[in-house]
Amino acid sequence: MDTVRAADAEGVLELNGAALDGFANDLVVSRSVRDTAAALDAVRGFMPGDPFAEPPHPDSYLKAIKSRPRQLHIAVTLKKLDGNPLHPDCVAAVKSAAKACEKLGHIVEEAAPSLDQRSLMGAFTAFWGGGLAAGIDAIAKITRQTPTRDLFEGLTWGMYESGKNVSASEYLQGKDLFNAASREMGRFHQIYDVWITPTLGRPPEKNGVFDFDNTDLSSSFGPQIDYVPFTAMQNVTGQPAMNIPIYWNKDNLPIGTQFVAPFGDELTLLKLAAELEKAAPWEHRYDSIRI
């Protein structure tokens, strides 16, 4: 059930949990590994009848992160999954994270799983749109309202309209693609305990760069997919992932680095995060940010 995605590009630790058909849903935000572990302790578990069973876990993540992880075999990826280049700052962030892990005694090498990102993102958009449409229609039924364009941000309305046109066949074919991706990641993690990628394809953008009031998904949602080339893969496979800001660029902005573990292995990520946080603290850096 529980998925940790520790942070966005700005470095706050973000905890996600299972939602529609296994996709992640935001729960809490924190700035320390300790608080993330405590939050996971507070929300973990499942109720009888839940569609997803909870993987095995320690009695307390908060207590467990006090011990160091075993020596890990870590893969790092320095290009987008389609082979296209990343922004130099994002490459530098991954290399910095790799170096920090090596200093802690872990084994690091360059590698990437074989994922068809184009096909997966098409299915991801269909699932997202379908889920959004279902949610809006459910609220409309409860509140006895009719969804109209003027009630929504343009991008949300465009996704709603797209989701209304997703067929059952498209939905189930997308699910098959997700299952194949999950199996590929399972194979990959037979070799590597952790996979390190950039969180974004380039440094954090300023507000206003993306047009959220445009209903045309190709021009409003498309550029965002290129901006966030990796994180949707974990939404698809249901794996735990964390993002920690251990690298800052020349503009004094945190460049997020994502760490991915096998399904159900939140503990490895939290232990590694705690180890890195102790070796290269980041919370004090936020006082110096000027926007």
| CA distance linking residue 52 with residue 238, whole number of Å | 11
As a whole number, mean pLDDT of residues 117-121 equals 87
Position with higher pLDDT, 15 vs 90:
90
As a whole number, mean pLDDT of residues 181-199 equals 96
Percentage of the chain lying above the pLDDT 70 cut: 88
pLDDT of the residue at 290: 55
| CA distance linking residue 253 with residue 168, whole number of Å | 43
pLDDT band at 225 (very low <50, low <70, confident <90, very high): confident
> CA 204 → CA 60, 194, 253, distances in Å?
34, 24, 8
Interval 6-53: pLDDT, tens: 333 333 444 333 345 656 555 667 788 999 999 989 988 888 888 777
Q: Domain of 83?
A: 2-288
The mean pLDDT of the chain is 86
pLDDT at 118 over 50: yes
Most confident of 25-34, 50-59, 186-195: 186-195
Q: Could you tell me if 94 and 196 are in contact, meaning their C-beta atoms sit under 8 angstroms apart?
A: yes
pLDDT of the residue at 117: 85
| CA distance linking residue 188 with residue 184, whole number of Å | 6
Interval 145-179: pLDDT, tens: 999 999 999 999 999 999 999 999 999 999 999 99
The enclosing domain of 77 has a CATH number of 3.90.1300.10
List all residues 6 or more positions away from 83 whose beta carbon is below 8 Å from its beta carbon. Answer: none
pLDDT at 114 over 90: yes
pLDDT of the residue at 2: 36
> CA 101 → CA 8, 106, 187, 234, 276, distances in Å?
20, 6, 22, 22, 8
191: which 2 tokens? 């070799």
> CA 244 → CA 42, 93, 153, distances in Å?
21, 10, 30
Does residue 274 come out as left (phi exceeding 0), alpha (psi in the -120 to 50 range) or beta? alpha
pLDDT of the residue at 27: 60
Position with higher pLDDT, 198 vs 21:
198
pLDDT of the residue at 235: 85
Q: How many domains does the chain have?
A: 1
